[in-house]
Amino acid sequence: MDKLVIRGGHRLSGSINASGSKNSSLPIIAATLLAGDGTFTLHNIPDLRDITTFTQLLNYLGTETAFSDNTLQISSQNLKSLQAPYELVKKMRASIYVLGPMLARFGHARVSLPGGCAFGPRPIDLHLMAMEKLGATITIETGFIDASVKGGKLRGGDIHFPLSSVGATGNALMAAVLAEGKTTISNAAAEPEIETLCKFLIAMGSTIRGTGTTELEIEGAKSLNAIDFRNVFDRIEAGTLLAAAAITGGEITVNGVEPEQMKSVLKKFVQAGCIVETTLNSISLKSHGKLTPTDVTAKPYPSFPTDMQAQWIALMTQADGTSHITDKVYHERFNHIPELNRLGAHIEIRKNQAIVHGPQLLSGTKVMSTDLRASASLVLAGLVAKGTSEVLRVYHLDRGYEKIETKLNTLGADISREKYNEF
């Protein structure tokens, strides 16, 4: 097992490139199942555990993939199995993304129910509701979702999501693009990852109106084509790197980004006392180390993203006063807090709100990762903690951050990755 050993106290400076987005790569990779001919070439795909897991699942289904230098080639001409097994699906919930495209292309799909996750229940009822609206019959037995449609072809329908769901919107889009007729999706998720999926599907030959908004209209196509496509940047990785500069009183520039997609996060950094400058494709952040306590409420895009909530809590441990961080997407996404408190933070949890009392001097010690963004928050805290911190079970971090210690060391951090054994 790997751990990150972080010697704190170094101001970060310099410039770094953002990686491709994990959360847009996954639906795009799933959407390649929709084309029966040709080979896709996907650029700017991050080299992450979740991507490896997902390509393993597609290989199991019969796709051919080749990944090198952040370019993924995929061909789905010879799919052989329509069942996504538990052993692979339990490794990553987003495996549910194969449901929509498989159902759309073959009229049948069997997908293991996804496992739970570290921060509370993550149901898939909205995914299933969307498939049923397009004519699918869904049964759940022995831990599997069995979806099929009479006559093998989905039919367009009207889908309304009672709450904003990135995954369910993605699955609905990937099912609707091959359904017969028109589909409308209201209260769709408008996250940049869904906007990128829409652009990808349009490039494949779909007709989609409303890209980037919460109201989508899709005209089903007879078939779709394999294409070359460049994936969007990872706004959560970029936000995490900016938070590393802010917490260490540093000054960095992140390149290869679209600041427009990070407005809610950049506004909070400015409120917290950082100087933020942007160009078309870069963001520079400078912090003098003095931070203003800044409240945040995580909500669907374009509000502050829940995937930056844990990182913001770590940052606010250094602010001159008390901050309130509320998560309205995942009410229990606070496993990082007991670990941050072990580093010396003083954070209380009241329902779905964290109350962070700062500034607190953090002292390095061993801390345990519990999920992807929680582990990112522990790394941020380790950067500013006195002495040495050890973040254990770094496999959580490797799911969503491409060589994060290399990037942070490039900016002046002092982190080493070491093997260790757990009792």
The residue type found at 242 is: L
124 touches ligand EPZ by CB under 6 A: yes
* Measured distance CA(333)–CA(341) in Å, rounded: 15
Would you give the binding string for ligand EPZ spanning residues 49-68, x where CB under 6 A is met? --------------------
Q: Is 18 in the site for ligand EPZ (CB under 6 A)?
A: no
Sheet with 207-209, edge to edge strand ranges: 158-160, 182-186, 215-219, 207-209
Looking from the CA of 222 toward its CB, the CA atoms found within 13 Å total 0
**Is residue 166 part of the contact set for ligand EPZ (CB under 6 A)?**
yes
What number of residues does the chain have? 423
- Taking CB under 6 A as the criterion, the residue among 5, 12, 16, 26 binding ligand EPZ is 26
Prior bond to 121 cis, omega within 30? no
The catalytic position among 38, 62, 67, 117 is 117
With contacts defined by CB under 6 A, name the span among 73-81, 165-173, 200-208, 284-292 that binds ligand EPZ: 165-173
- DSSP character at residue 248: T
The rounded distance, in Å, linking the Cα atoms of 332 and 334 is: 6
Cα first-last separation, the chain: 11
Annotate each residue in 305-344 with x if it binds ligand EPZ (CB under 6 A) or - if it does not, as one string.
-xx---------------------xx--------------
Contact 72, 66 (CB under 8 A): yes
Among 10, 127, 336, 407, which residue interacts with ligand EPZ (rule: CB under 6 A)?
127
Stretch that binds ligand EPZ, among 117-125, 258-266, 343-351, 406-414 (CB under 6 A): 117-125
Q: How far apart are CA 307 and CA 199, in angstroms?
A: 23
CA distance 135 to 148: 9
By the rule CB under 6 A, 123 interacts with ligand EPZ: yes
**Mask 353-392, x = binds ligand EPZ (CB under 6 A)?**
-------------------xx-------------------
274 is catalytic: no
Instruction: Give catalytic residues, as residue numbers.
Output: 117
Residues that bind ligand EPZ (CB under 6 A): 22-23, 26, 93-94, 122-127, 163, 165-168, 189, 193, 306-307, 329-330, 372-373, 400
